[in-house]
């Protein structure tokens, strides 16, 4: 479920305009401290761009709801926050999923923490609100089979530089199990060698930096792409550039994560593979492939950059295969 589909129980959508970053009126009228806290929270406190967008959406929605209720920023009671979280529903009237409720509550709680620290309000109205209990043992991200991943990789037309770029991007997603945001942030200097081995330096979520060795074929993909580019790469320039329309010419601008998402969807469709798969699917594919080979969970956890092994297990699809084998034996 997309959090953009969530509306308060009143049924009125209060989604901010696309790309809008205007300070909500309820914050403006609350005074200088509130405006300062708002700017600080969405400026420096949240390092990850995706988290910032999700939190801004959740906070804006809650503040808009408070505005319609005639509640001032400094006078929001805890019961109101709990009521709001429990009343979140989808646009078609279904209750919001528990993970969505937890995300909205986390955003609101952290936002008001900053408001308290900057003396815009006295108490955090979300501090004592308890979110719904939720525990997931199986990840929801659809995973590609290893054969599907190979088919996709080998389907790329590498007779031009855009194809070489796309193959290198897909290779990184598959052979490092990194997130698409880390690929988009790569600079030329992040692909380097110590004289014996080539490495990728990945800037992952939460400010974590990981250094992953390149396997020989991935190393070749990236070298072929760089060689085809022609112009000398500056160490600080984007490794993967966007395409100028349909010209098969690369610009000086970096690929954005959304550009890579769209590219992967196009390649999946062209290869007659399920378009339900995403860039994130390859993390699950890689994790499952390694675990099937007997690689220890701790090593797979290290590759994926997880702090908790329970998170790594969410990417393991072996249990789904076992379950399917069992249900197919039912003779009803």
Query: Can you tell me the mean pLDDT for 175-185?
Result: 89
Q: What is the DSSP letter of 89?
A: E
Q: How many CB atoms lie within 10 A of CB 140?
A: 8
Class of domain 146-325: mainly alpha
Q: How many residues are there in the chain?
A: 332
Reply yes or no on whether the pLDDT at 75 is more than 80. yes
Q: Which residues contact 181 (CB under 8 A, 6 or more apart)?
A: 48, 49, 50, 204, 205, 257
Q: What is the pTM of this model?
A: 0.66
Which of 90-104, 277-291, 293-307, 318-332 is the least confident region? 318-332
Q: Are 219 and 228 in contact (CB under 8 A)?
A: no
pLDDT of residue 296: 79
C-alpha 57/C-alpha 21 separation (Å) is 10
Reply yes or no on whether the pLDDT at 226 is more than 50. yes
* Per-residue pLDDT tens over the stretch 240-266: 999 988 888 888 899 999 999 999 999
pLDDT band at 99 (very low <50, low <70, confident <90, very high): confident
Q: Where in the chain is the domain with CATH 1.10.443.10?
A: 146-325
CA end-to-end span of the chain, whole Å? Answer: 34
pLDDT of residue 240: 94
Reply yes or no on whether the pLDDT at 208 is more than 80. no
């Amino acid at each position: 479920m997309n959090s953009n589909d969530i509306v308060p129980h009143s049924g009125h959508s209060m989604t901010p305009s696309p790309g809008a970053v205007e300070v909500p009126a309820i914050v403006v009228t609350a005074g200088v401290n509130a405006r300062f806290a708002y700017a600080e929270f969405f400026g420096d406190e949240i390092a990850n761009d995706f988290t910032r967008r999700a939190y801004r959406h959740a906070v804006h929605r809650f503040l808009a709801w408070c505005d319609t209720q005639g509640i001032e920023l400094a006078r929001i009671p805890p019961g109101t926050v709990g009521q709001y979280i429990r009343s979140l529903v989808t646009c078609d009237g279904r209750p919001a999923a528990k993970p969505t409720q937890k995300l909205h509550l986390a955003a609101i709680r952290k936002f008001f923490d900053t408001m308290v620290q900057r003396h815009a309000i006295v108490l955090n109205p979300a501090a004592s609100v308890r979110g719904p209990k939720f525990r997931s043992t199986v990840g929801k991200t659809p995973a590609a089979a290893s054969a599907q991943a190979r088919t996709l990789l080998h389907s790329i037309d590498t007779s031009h530089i855009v194809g070489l770029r796309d193959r290198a991007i897909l290779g990184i997603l598959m052979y490092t199990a990194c997130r698409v945001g880390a690929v988009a942030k790569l600079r030329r200097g992040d692909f380097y060698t110590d004289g014996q081995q080539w490495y990728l330096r990945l800037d992952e979520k939460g400010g974590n930096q990981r250094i992953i060795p390149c396997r020989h074929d991935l190393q070749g993909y990236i070298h072929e792409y760089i060689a085809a580019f022609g112009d000398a790469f500056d160490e600080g320039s984007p490794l993967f550039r966007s395409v100028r329309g349909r010209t098969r010419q690369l610009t000086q601008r970096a690929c954005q994560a959304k550009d890579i998402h769209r590219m992967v969807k196009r390649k999946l469709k062209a290869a007659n593979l399920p378009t339900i798969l995403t860039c994130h699917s390859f993390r699950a594919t890689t994790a499952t492939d390694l675990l099937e080979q007997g690689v220890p969970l701790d090593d797979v956890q290290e590759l994926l950059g997880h702090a908790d092994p329970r998170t790594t297990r969410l990417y393991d699809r072996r249990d789904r295969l076992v379950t399917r084998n069992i249900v197919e034996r039912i003779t009803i």
